[in-house]
A and B are shown apart, each in its own frame.
Chain A
Amino acid sequence: MHEVSIAIGMVKELTRIALENNAKKVTGVKLKIGKMSGIVADSLIFAFDAVKLEHPLMSSAAISIEEVPLVYECNTCKKTFETDNLSFQTCPFCGSYSLKLLSGEEMHIENVEIETEEESHV
Chain B
Amino acid sequence: MCDVCGCGHSHDHSHDTKSPHPPFEKGGRGGILQNKVVDVNQSLLKANEDAAAGNRKHFDEDGIFAINIISSPGSGKTTLLEKTIDALKGEINIGVLEGDIETDLDAERIRKKGVPAVQLTTGGACHLDSILVHKGFHSLEHSLNGKRLDILFIENVGNLVCPSFFDLGEHLRVVLISVPEGHDKPLKYPKAIKTAQLLIISKTDLVQYFDFDMQKIKKDALSLNPSLNILEVSSKTGEGMDEWIKFLIHRLHR
Contact = CB atoms under 8 A, between A and B. Distances in A.
A6 B37 contact: no
A107 B35 contact: no
A83 interface: no
A114 B162 CA distance: 31
Size range of the interface on B? 35 or more
Interface string B115-131: 00000000001110100
Interface residues of A, number: 40
Interface in B168-196: 187, 190-191
Contacts of A117: 27, 31-34
Contacts of A20: 17, 19, 21, 23
A119 B165 contact: no
Interface stretch (B5-13, B45-53, B56-64, B227-235): B45-53
Interface in A92-122: 97, 107-120, 122
B24 interface: yes
Contacts of A108: 41-44
Given A2-B161, A38-B165, A88-B220, 10 more contacts: A5-B162, A6-B45, A6-B165, A20-B17, A21-B23, A31-B44, A38-B164, A97-B223, A119-B31, A120-B27
B39 A114 contact: no
Contacts of B127: 2, 5
A122 B21 CA distance: 23
Is chain A's interface secondary structure helix, strand, loop, or mixed overall?
mixed
Contacts of B31: 117-120
Interface of A: 1-2, 4-6, 9-10, 12-14, 16-17, 20-22, 24, 27, 31, 33, 38-39, 86-88, 97, 107-120, 122
Contacts of A17: 38, 40
Contacts of A2: 126-127, 161-162, 165-166
Nearest to B164: A38
Is chain B's interface secondary structure helix, strand, loop, or mixed overall?
mixed
Contacts, number: 120
B217 interface: no
Interface of B: 17, 19, 21, 23-25, 27-28, 30-48, 125-127, 129, 161-162, 164-166, 187, 190-191, 220, 223-224
B32 A114 contact: no
B42 A109 contact: yes
A107 B33 contact: no
A22 B21 contact: yes
B34 A116 contact: yes
A21 B37 CA distance: 10
A14 B42 CA distance: 11
13 contacts: A4-B125, A5-B125, A6-B44, A9-B46, A13-B46, A16-B17, A17-B38, A21-B19, A21-B38, A24-B33, A109-B46, A110-B39, A119-B25
Given A118-B27, A119-B31, A112 B44 contact: no
